């Protein structure tokens, strides 16, 4: 998940792939999953990769009535031990949230839990954190009311929030950008203006990738200079290696088929 710093990733929540996964929403990177067994194998390799990096992984049961339920990133925003439960931006995804919320409440004793309400909408996949600076995508899933609720939480915690308009050809901000370290943003050419992220803190920068490697821009940075990266994106891979990061490559083809990226499948807490 994209709302915690590298040093805030000891545990991750993931959710099993439902039998209904072939009906998952798919409009951007993919046209729908075809192979449920392959998707489950890729998801297992993802869990194993996180565990090999020292992350303690808990997997919730699938909700077979909700084909997108594996994309847990969208269902909660965890910032410095506080939890914002958004109203997801697609109506078919709203009922995925209760078991995730219950799990987080049970595990994060003392956490402040805020629930979005009314017409505010947000998918957690629209939020990106660079150190102590936050970005939110204004997208088809995240509206201005949702952004204001996030801003309230972040202001309370002393963090700045910057809004980025997501072009129609992308689902979420994290579909097109990630922070493999607390100082680097990877983003593709052709989606955002070069000044979209604004002036960054000293030592931080955006590294622009070729447009054809957009999907590869979603990475998961982990402690000890490790980073998960999707298979098939050579410029992204070489860029991460040049940053002296240890890359762990995952074939995510059947997750991509439902517009899911690496960060979509986990919530770090």
Binding residues (CB under 6 A) for ligand GLY: these are 24-26, 68, 71, 90, 93, 171, 258-260
Least Cβ distance, residue 98 to ligand GLY (angstroms):
17
Least Cβ distance, residue 118 to ligand GLY (angstroms):
21
Least Cβ distance, residue 71 to ligand GLY (angstroms):
5
Ordered DSSP codes for 171-225: S-GGGT-EEEETTEEEEETTTS-TTTT-SPPTT-EEEEE-GGGTGGG--EEETTT
Residue pair 218/170 in contact (Cβ under 8 Å)? The answer is: no
Please, which residue, 71 or 252, has the CB nearer to ligand GLY? 71
Which of 176, 159, 166 shows the shortest CA–CA distance to 137?
166
Please, which residue, 27 or 205, has the CB nearer to ligand GLY? 27
Least Cβ distance, residue 81 to ligand GLY (angstroms):
26
Q: What is the CA radius of gyration of the chain?
A: 17
The rounded distance, in Å, linking the Cα atoms of 172 and 178 is: 11
Please, which residue, 88 or 133, has the CB nearer to ligand GLY? 88
Which residues are CB-neighbours of 140 under 8 A, at least 6 positions away? 89, 166, 168, 171
Least Cβ distance, residue 100 to ligand GLY (angstroms):
14
Least Cβ distance, residue 158 to ligand GLY (angstroms):
30
Please, which residue, 149 or 259, has the CB nearer to ligand GLY? 259
Please, which residue, 122 or 133, has the CB nearer to ligand GLY? 122
Residue in the shown chain whose Cβ atom is closest to ligand GLY: 25
Please, which residue, 9 or 66, has the CB nearer to ligand GLY? 66
3-state secondary structure of 50: helix
Residue pair 32/26 in contact (Cβ under 8 Å)? The answer is: yes
Instruction: Kindly tell me the burial class for residue 124, based on how many C-beta atoms sit within 10 Å of its own C-beta (0-12, 13-18, 19 or more).
Output: buried
């Amino acid at each position: 998940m994209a709302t915690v710093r590298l040093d805030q990733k000891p545990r991750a929540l993931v959710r099993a792939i439902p039998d209904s996964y072939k009906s998952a929403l798919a409009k951007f990177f993919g046209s729908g999953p075809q192979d449920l067994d392959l998707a489950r194998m890729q998801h297992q390799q993802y869990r194993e990769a996180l565990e090999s990096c020292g992350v303690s992984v808990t997997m919730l049961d699938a909700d077979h009535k909700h084909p997108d339920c594996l994309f847990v990133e969208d269902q909660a925003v965890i910032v410095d031990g506080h939890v914002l439960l958004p109203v997801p931006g697609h109506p078919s995804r709203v009922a995925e949230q209760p078991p995730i919320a219950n799990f987080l409440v049970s595990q994060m004793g003392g956490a402040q839990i805020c629930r979005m309400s009314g017409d505010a909408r947000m998918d957690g996949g629209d939020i990106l954190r660079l150190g102590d600076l936050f970005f939110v995508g204004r997208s088809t899933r995240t509206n201005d009311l949702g952004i204001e609720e996030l801003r309230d939480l972040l202001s309370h915690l002393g963090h700045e929030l910057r809004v980025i308009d997501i072009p129609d050809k992308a689902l979420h901000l994290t579909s097109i950008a990630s922070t493999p370290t607390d100082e680097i943003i990877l983003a593709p050419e052709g989606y955002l203006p070069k000044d979209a992220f604004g002036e960054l803190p000293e030592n931080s920068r955006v590294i622009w990738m070729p447009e054809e490697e957009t999907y590869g821009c979603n990475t998961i940075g982990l402690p000890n200079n490790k980073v998960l990266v999707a298979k098939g994106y050579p410029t992204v891979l070489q860029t991460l290696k040049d940053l002296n990061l240890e890359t762990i490559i995952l074939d995510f083809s059947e997750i991509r088929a439902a517009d899911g990226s690496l960060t979509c499948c986990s919530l770090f807490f």
